[in-house]
Amino acid sequence: MDKTSRRKTIIITGAAGGIGQGLSKHMASLGWKVGMIDINPIIKEIAQAIDDTMVMPVVCDIRDSAQVDAVITRIEDTLGPIDALVNNAGIVANIAPIAKMKDNRWANELAVNLSAAFYFIRNLAPKMAEKGWGRIINVSSAAARSGLPAQIGYASTKSALWGVTSTTAAEFGSKGVTCNSILPGVIATPTVLSMPAHIQEGVKKASVLGRFGEIEEIAHLVAFLCSEKAGFITGAEIDIDGGYRLNNTSLT
């Protein structure tokens, strides 16, 4: 951020998770004021560790649009108007074959991964448009392109975020608001690193770079998309997956 400009404000959802924490720290280090939202009350301790008075942790269940609207108002009242939004919270509510996917698990994935992104954008994009500047980033997944056996809810919601991204970009582009999706492959978060070793090795081999992505690599991409320099990028789906989406099978 240009040090002479006012500190801009960003909201990051799922900020207590592996990627959300990394994003929050990185954006604070770049001079952004950060509204950190999570359903997990541990968000307060996590925010304290960032050591910046302009980092505000808030507990909120983003499945509830009334809570979303209320929490946005609280952050605006404390940190000021919101310049950027990262819809980062995401869950896998069930790992099960399609035939065994339960209604309530399917509904939960829809609520967190898809509806919540819509609630935040519905509230914030018009206000960004009024100011003539805004940045919205939806955290999708490589699973949006490839599908993912036994995770139909997760893969479907991540694909559906594309409709949210492209429609938001089209509706608000003329008002200076950009909206993009990023599609991470497997990232070295604590959850991923706690998977059994043989699964970790299989996943690494599936990407042409043969490794996990790093949380910092996601943070740098998000920071760039939030910057002035990214002003001509909108409605994009940006893969950050080490080539996971490519066919890694050789016929030789």
The half-sphere exposure of 160 on its side-chain side, counting CA atoms within 13 A, is: 17
With tokens 């924490």, the residue in question is 21
Neighbour-count burial of 161, counting CB atoms closer than 10 A to its CB (0-12 exposed, 13-18 middle, 19+ buried): buried
Q: Is 239 in the site for ligand NAD (CB under 6 A)?
A: no
Per annotation, catalytic residue among 118, 120, 154, 172: 154
Name the one range near ligand NAD by CB under 6 A: 73-81, 97-105, 118-126, 184-192: 184-192
Instruction: Examine the residue annotation and report whether 154 is marked as an active-site residue of this protein.
Output: yes
- The tokens for 208 are 């042409």
Size of site (CB under 6 A) for ligand NAD: 26
**Contacting range for ligand NAD; rule: CB under 6 A; set: 61-69, 127-135, 171-179, 219-227:** 61-69
Smallest separation, CB 96 to ligand NAD (Å): 17
The rounded distance, in Å, linking the Cα atoms of 87 and 78 is 20
Other Cβ atoms closer than 10 A to 137: 25
Cβ nearer to ligand NAD, comparing 134 with 184: 184
Q: Is 141 in the site for ligand NAD (CB under 6 A)?
A: yes
Which of 139, 160, 161, 169 touches ligand NAD (CB under 6 A)? 139
Number of separate helices (H) and strands (E) present in the chain: 10, 7
Query: CA-to-CA distance for 250 and 238, rounded, in angstroms?
Result: 25
CB of 179 to ligand NAD, least distance (A): 16
The two beta strands, 55-59 and 33-38, are parallel
Q: Does 242 bind ligand NAD (CB under 6 A)?
A: no
The Cα 34–Cα 25 span in angstroms is 9
Residues 88-127, one symbol each (x = binds ligand NAD by CB under 6 A, - = not), give xxxx--------------------x---------------
Among the candidate windows 4-12, 54-62, 117-125, 223-231, which touches ligand NAD by CB under 6 A?
54-62
Q: DSSP character for 38?
A: E
Stretch that binds ligand NAD, among 16-24, 99-107, 170-178, 243-251 (CB under 6 A): 16-24
Q: How far apart are CA 17 and CA 177, in angstroms?
A: 27
**How many Cα atoms occupy the beta-carbon half-sphere of 248 within 13 Å?**
15
Task: Work out whether 187 is an interface residue with ligand NAD (CB under 6 A).
Answer: yes
Give me the least distance between CB of 109 and ligand NAD, in Å please. Answer: 10
Handedness of CA 86, 165, 173, 69 (dihedral sign): negative
**Nearest Cα residue to 22 out of 8, 33, 36, 9:** 36
Out of 10, 12, 19, 155, the only residue in the binding site for ligand NAD (CB under 6 A) is: 19
Minimum gap (Å) between residue 78 Cβ and ligand NAD = 19
Which residues are catalytically annotated? 154
Binding site for ligand NAD (CB under 6 A): 14, 16-20, 38-40, 60-63, 88-91, 112, 139, 141, 184, 186-187, 189, 191-192
